[in-house]
Amino acid sequence: MPAMQTARTVVPLSRSVDAIRESVDRLEEHLPRREDTAVMLDFLEDDLREGLDAIAEVEAHFTDILDLLRNEQPAPIALMEAAEDFRVLNRLEYLMVVVAQLRRRLSQAAGKLREG
């Protein structure tokens, strides 16, 4: 299914723009300088990158489907393959995990801001 693979090769936002690193560095300036803070910030940065990667893959899936539907004569097998692409469901489930982790880490950061 070559058409479904093309959009997935696009560089995700989290790699093309390092706004994540800049944002985490800015938050770090306001937090107490402790080892547990550094660890929390590393996890926060990882979660942001992984979440944006998952979003990029989900977006690529939808873009692939739109491209497929724009074909003059979409092949039935191509439609079925697009419908059976369970990777997008896995990425959405993973995104839910990442969002829960981000919530916890942002709460930790808020607590550290109140301490400092």
Question: pLDDT 10s per residue in the chain (116 long)?
Answer: 444 444 445 555 545 458 999 999 999 999 999 999 999 999 999 999 999 999 999 999 999 999 999 988 999 999 999 999 899 999 999 999 999 999 999 999 999 999 86
**In whole angstroms, what is the distance from residue 20 CA to residue 50 CA?**
11
- Residue whose tokens read 């990442």: 98
Taking the whole predicted model, whether its pTM rises above 0.85 is answered as no
Give just the sign of the alpha carbon dihedral 70, 71, 76, 79. Answer: negative
pLDDT of residue 17: 57
| Sequence spans of domains, the chain | 16-115
Residue 14 contacts residue 27 (beta carbons within 8 Å)? no
pLDDT of residue 72: 87
Residue 73 contacts residue 19 (beta carbons within 8 Å)? no
